[in-house]
Structure 1
């Protein structure tokens, strides 16, 4: 959850088009962690060709612990905005969301407060999590007046600007790949503060201050319709697509009588809410995952940590490559999911430009690492949540604070 240090922008002069381009604001590791969260949890977005992940959605799907990577980033962004625009008033975060714009997505000239229900927005921060030219094409942010007149996205860079019509802007159409950003809007009006509403939701959904249970970090899928990505009279399930473009497939689980779980008669997509296995080529991984979202998170975690996992294997095996393969060729049939695999490649692009030395032993280790990662975040969330609730705000809580009690204290 680290974030690279960056100098705060200088205060804006009166009469300027109030915007700043902050280079290298987020560390590469922070960008990768937020990318993992989005690719693990995102649903079909608020407009065509968009996938989004909001903080309330994380809480609602049993992934409240995945809010933790956002906390230091939100604080640093608020500090940067307050410094840049010399705010002599309280500033609240109205919205925090991971948003990816896929092939065909664009937006014309507008300001971010241009609707009656958006008048509360005062400032915008857009954090780029991947690179223009390498990960996608198109998607350039352009401003109608003033300098800088456009922003070419580079992972780790942030652009902040006022949400009014002095920063009327547009985003060119994405022509290939997936443009991924973390976007925050800030407001002066406490009635639109995201934190109290989010904390209320968290306290109602998953936490209740109980000790961490073994399955407390297992994600719970939302309605299947939220994962359906429609495009030109065709489409695919986002969970299925994310798994498939990385070389995996969903397979049925086996019940105690060694019988495959029967496909749903009306909607095969419903199978992704039930226990599943993961396959790759002719192999099927032995582990049964609680549901498709659980399996997807592990796949995305493996992809995030693949170089580290490969290095560990080579160190422990002495480079021999001799490993125990934790798979079977007869456990579970491939699920008959109605997904347009050609379209998913068109929309999300492929990851062929990233070399992965895949080994099932690495993937098996990724399952354990994902569980440890999730358990640690859940433990921290349960530790911090009472203090957050008492303050009605989400922020970094020092481990040496008297309000914080860690296990063993």
Structure 2
């Protein structure tokens, strides 16, 4: 990736391991060890489970001739034999315990049921923080560009805020831009969020989001999740697999803003392959930063302008719909004049001063009061939008 990654300190995770009724710690150590082996993915791991009657320790120690006899090609077998010589299953378990990183396997009841249904679901997941029932059943992924416009920020904040009001968990990838805004907005509004990483959980990438990652765990409002074991760096080839997990955890994917070659479109494509819904917020036809979203709509994604469009389409009626109560009315003539000039399109304070014909200090103080009351919001350098 070229940038220095920040090492993770011990987070205040609520528990070290999810209880497993079927795996002892010794058995778990071999599941972890297999997750470190390049070339043994979900399909080959299932082949080993079937042949060795789920005795993963026997599969780990099996001789070369037995591994080839069950259907693994010689190149894969040779690679496995070479890699396992440098992996100590018990040591891997101790490293995870020291960092309070939890392990979730196919055998665990808390393995996300939506993820379990997809092709190539990872046999092992690593987690900091604890998943809840709502996380497992009512999650929606929000993804988009790393370089947001003010419109993209507004849209992401608006949909995230309203989704968490409906008790929906927000899934994203901890990247800069839309991902960061989605995670932060969920936390700020008392919601839950899952950040899926493209590296081991002993590394936070991008490093600028270390404090966000820590807040997700320490607040008790979310989880850091990865299919990659400790020590794996955020290399470019890992991100499609990360995106595959984001969509696999989610009932649907919402793309709020994305240019034509955004990685968010890979996540959307993964969702389609997995049979999940894809939602897209329309952008201006003149905006390159939203051209990828408009193409998604043209190709069949569901265009959405309100959160109810998503919840109703997913037939989610077991959670409360967003609060649609009206905020307070303007309390004086200055507030009325300023609010009348604001909409969802950003306006600079100089325009407001000119059009209201009020003194600059009056407009500034009025905007401050309106912002504190949640009626307006600053979205850029002295640019304001109306929240109602």
TM-score normalised according to structure 2 size: 0.26
Q: Which has the higher strand share?
A: 1
**Which protein has greater RCO, CA pairs closer than 8 Å, 6+ apart?**
1
Structure number having the greater helix percentage: 2
In the superposition, the TM-score normalised over structure 1's length comes to 0.25
